[in-house]
Every structure is written in structure tokens, then in C-alpha cells.
Structure 1
Amino acid sequence: MNFLPTDEQRLAVEGFNRFLETKLQPIVRRYQPDKLIEKERMLEIFQLMLPYGMGGNGIIAEKHGGMGMPWLTYALMYEQLARVSGDVAISLLIQQLGAYSLEVCSNDAMRDKYLPRMLRAEIIACSGISEPGVGSNVAEVTCRAKKDGDLYVVTGEKTWISNGHYSDFCMVIVRTSDDGAKGLSMILVDRAEHGYDSRNIDKLGLNSTSTAQLFFDGVRVPAANMLIAPGAGLKNTLVLFEKARPMVGLTSVGIAQAALDKAVAYAKERRQHGKPIGAHQLIQGMLAEAAIELDAAKLLVYRAFNLIDHGVRCEVESAMAKCYATEIAVDVASKAVQIHGGNGITKDFGVELLFRNARMMTIPDGTTEIQKLIIGRALTGLNAFS
């Protein structure tokens, strides 16, 4: 087992870090702490990151116009993006997984129509799963797609949709029959061609990226836009979660790293009782605990991506990575606030924003509690979901 990055990975991360510090950081600072990055600016950011494989093109196969990166290499670079801007990282996560969903779907026409434009960062995607009454249990989705000749009529509401307010299209999990989990599919709804409305949601953190409610009011969509055959929607969604969950965990790792970096710098600079506060044992203990948690989270996340690269199903490992990384990020960011003392609860030092952003991450793509149930089911063979 090799814990060292390859020379190629190291050089890729170093080059991307230079870009982040010189190009991206000045842009995102204008939007901190809570100003929404406009769609045009987000697309501009994606376009700037394309040469590094970080504009939605990274993991897409070369034959489809992408760079064909291994997932782990992509993850090492994405971690650095999340360290600089959790908001941009989340938006890219949705964009990249949207491109991946198009790449692996069985609908060649939809792939050929939308994927090239995504890989040029000309349009923004979102994925519509959660609903006002449906969160962790995807099998209970109620958004309906009713067949009407060569069309499907889509009616329903989605919520907590990342990239939703400025999305050009949404890949919507819909119910095509009342046959429980077997009645789900995924259809692509184009905002300009078919029409849907959205409302941005103000949140605790990560307000520089869009999270929205989407409204589908009898939207008529060609049957040719069905990405997943009726009945296969749940299975495909759960497989996609195996890749999304360690990405969410990695976002938390980046946020936690930023918080720890700020805490270490402040502990070396701030003086009390005649010496830097970092020379006091209790402060060093807090920093050490944060560093241990952060390294453990990284290893769990890296393991999940290594398994993905080797084509190994990793539902449990992805759940562990997401569960642990998102929870320790809250703890690390909380320690950073505490080390900053009174300055930590102001908006001037940035750690309160990192704490709010970290707290956001324990919820999406299955809460901490859902991840524990997945792990518990694997350990006991007993299903707490039914």
C-alpha cells in the first residue's frame, strides 16, 4: 500500500495550487462571506480551471472529450480547491458528477447534445433528487413523469438542489409508475427548451453557491430525454452516491484544512502571558487533535477513491469517508474558532465562515445518521431502513 503521490500527481497539485492562489483566491474573496457567485462568473471560473482538468472535464474519458484522470488524482486536486473555496468546490462537484452521469448513461443522443458543452464550461448542470417530503429515502420520490404519447409530463418539486438556481438543465429523478423503488427513472429537463422555475435558498453557510428549489408544473419533455430506463432509477442513483459521498467528504477535508491552517498561523502570531498562544500546552493539544482527525479523514477518502479507480464497489467505504470527514470538519473548524478567541466569532478572520460551511456538509448526500445505518447494515446483515 503506497501512501505517496506519484510524481505526476504531485506536479498536478503544485501547478493547480499556484493557479488557486494567484487567480481563484482574488475572485472568491469578492464574494465572501455570503454573496452568491453569479452564473456567468461561475462559468468563467470553470473555464479558467479547464486546463487543469477541474472544470467538469477531469474524470471524463478522452474519447468523450475529457482528460481521463484517475479519480484519486482528481480528488487530490479537488481537495485543494475546497481548501480555497468550498462554494466553488460544491458547484464543481455537481458539474463534474453531472458530466459523469451523462457519460455513463445509455442515451447517446443526450450525451452528444449536452456533454461537449459541459466540457467547454458553457452550461451548468444540476441533479434533482430531494423533495420537500423526501430526503434520505430516494425510493419515496413523488415527482411524477406521466407518459403522453412521445412525451413525458413532469410534475413536482425538488429542493436542496445544488447549482439549481443557475442550472441550464436538470437530471431529475422521477416516478414513472407506482411500483415503489422499481417505478423510478431519470429524465433530462432543459430549462430553455422545456421550462422549470427555481428559487434560491438562503442557508447557514456556502451561500456563494446556489442551492435551490425547482418547480416542474406539467413540463412536457420528449421521451427521448429519458436517461435511465423506467425501473432503474434507484439503482443508478445509489451507485452514483458511492462517488458523490467521498467527494462531499473531500470538500469537508478542504474546509477543515483551511481552518487548521488559520488556527496554526494565529496560534504562532497571537501572544498571551508573554509568549505565542501556540506555546501553551492546551492550544498545542487542540491543534494536534485537529491534525490527527484531518489526516484520518484524508486516508478514508483516499481509500474510497482508490477503490473506485480499481472498479471495486465501495458503498460502505464511501459512507465511512463521508460520515467521518464531514463530522471532523465541524470539530476542526470549531477548534479554530476557539483558538481565535473573541476574534473567531467575528467575520474579520474567516474562521466563523469555515465553521458554518463545515456544518453544512454533514447533511447532503445522506446525513451522518444515514451513513451509520449503511455501515451498520454491512456489519450486521440487518436492514434498519425497512
Structure 2
Amino acid sequence: MSQKPSTRPADPRFSSGPTKKRPGWELAALSGAPLGRTHRGGIPKARLAEAIERTGAMLEIPDDYRVIITPASDTGAMEGAMWSLLGARGVDVFSCDEFGRRWLIDARDELKLSDLRLFEAPFGVAPDYDEADFSRDVIFTWNATSSGVRIPDGDWIPANREGLTLCDATSAAFAMNLPWDKLDVTTFSWQKCMGGEAQHGIAVLSPRARKRLAEHKPAWPVPRILQWFEAAAEDSKMFEGSTINTPSLLATEDYIDSLKWAMREGGLEGLVARTDANFEALADWVESCDWIDYLTADPATRSHTSITLKFSGKALEGKSEEERWAVSRKMAALLDREEAAFDVAPHPKAPAGLRIWCGPTVDTDDVRALGPWLDWAYHEAISELV
């Protein structure tokens, strides 16, 4: 048996969603939540408006863009965008992971768009975004949480596009710089990079997106929970915290708490710096290790939040994918038992290996302490299973 490392990460939470809460978080942070009250007025509505205002300030969103809170996390936000906005033009969908594939399936099988082009890439590989036709609407994922692929910049998106860009940025917002002038609809959830409690999504709408909402009505029935048409009005109550369904004021309070912490950390610049430092700490370990490598080979498209790794080296050479997955599962179980790392197995549909969250709420010292434990768990797992 290999020797266990002497130092554990102070916090073993490396899940890719919901993610680790901010450093120093405790339940008392939620003591001011206005529970047991209607969300339609007074202090509760002011809290929702505060969450929207702080989001815009933190992410440096342009003054003429608008932020709304949506039901059902990033999934609800992205589906609300698709069901409410699509159908006016042809649509291109770019997919390179399980979540991007969900938007592809929605467009093809649920909305049954007649003028649809699909661009799929396997896990770990970025689609060819040069194929995008911006006379059409274009749907893409900025950071593919389950495959570790990200878009490095917005240079491929023209400023004078005719169609809308719909961007799923749930594991990128608050950890990467987003080019707002290139994005018409941007969706995310505060359970990802901000470590918030799940339930709600956020959507950021450009003036062009709101113009589409005013001028276009889809051919299909849109369920009430996915209707964004009220956001077309300049004085829409949605921009002040009015929501389509009843929000959790406890989850909202938690999000506000994380936004206040982020400002103390230096705002968006500080959060990006924390994320990049975490990535570099993990990269140092990967570089020193002969049994693991990145699933995403191209450094330019390699995620800095959801780091997705694959097995390499001789020990598993020639082994089946099921045998490799047995090693992944065994490692995850060992690390969980030792309380050294929680939830580091890959997404169930991804190749065998590891997935380590390195977003801004994670501390770099914990990432550094994690590497030796991953080495220990790997050698323990292959001694039993290979």
C-alpha cells in the first residue's frame, strides 16, 4: 500500500456543481433572509433587486443590458431563452459536452426548428466556431462543464451580426472575462462559480435580444415558466426583481452574501485571478504526474474552472473504458472516505478520469494539497482493480 499524504485540503469540496461555498461561509450569513414573506413587495423584493444590481456591477455588464432572475437554474434560463426567442431566423447550435447537447436536443427534437445546423464535437474538443453563420442565431457554451473545454475569446463573433448569440456561461460567469458586446443572451446559475444554493438562473439580455422579444412571437406554445416577453418593455418589473415563479429568499440571501464577498476579493478581476491561480496550482501537479493528462489537449481551449482529466501512462494501457471507470469510481470513493476530496469523478457520460473544480470560491492552498492525495488514491485503486 502507498503512504497517505500527511496534509489534507482544509476544505475537500471540489464538486463541479453545486460548488464549494465562499471561504469563511457559515449559516449565520443567511440570518437576515426575509423568510415567510411574499416576494412581491417590501424587503423581499428589494433583496431580489439588490441581487440583480450587484450582479450587473460585479460582472461589469453594459448599462443598456438588463439582468433577470429565472426559474430552474441555468437550465431554465437557457431553455427560457430558446423557447422565447428562437424561430425568427435559422439557428446554428455548437455542442461539445453533455449540457451543450441538451440545447441541441431542445432545438432539434422539442422546438423542431426547420432551419437548423448542428455542430457537435466529442468530449475534450472544441467545435469549429469558424463555421458559424451570424446571419442566423448562434447557440454555444462558453465553458463546457462536463468536458473541460472553453472558448478563449469572442474574436470569432462579429460586432455587426444580424442574428442573436445565445451563450450558456454557467461555469464561466464570475471566473472568466466575457465579451458582453458579442453576447445577446447570456445565462448562468449562482450555484456554479459563486457557490450558491441551487434553484435560480440568471439571464443577461442585450438591447438586440429585447428587441427580438418585442417583435417576434414564436410559432410554438411557450409554457408560462419559460416566457420572457415581459422583458421587452423598458420599464419591465423583471429588471427590478419580479420573477416568473416564487423565488427562494433563502437562496437569494445566500447569493447576495457571495456577491458581497466577491467585492471584498477585488470584484471580477479578483475572482478571475483566484480561478487562474487555482488552475495553475493544479497544472503544476498534472505536469509532474505520469498517469494523468488533460482531456482537452489544446491549452487555448482548456477550462480553468472545470478541469477535466483523463488517465494516461502504462498502468491502464490497453484497458477497457469500463475498467478505467472502475479506477475513477474507486478513487472517488477512497478520497471521499478520507475526506480529502469530494465529488471528483467525471460526469457520467464523460471519459474515465477525474474532474476537479477550480473556480473562485476554492482556495489555492487546497488545490496544492489535493495533488498528493490524487496520487495516493490512484495507486491504491490500480493495486486493487487492475
Q: If the length of structure 2 is used for normalisation, what is the TM-score?
A: 0.23
Q: If the length of structure 1 is used for normalisation, what is the TM-score?
A: 0.23
Select the structure that is richer in helix: 1
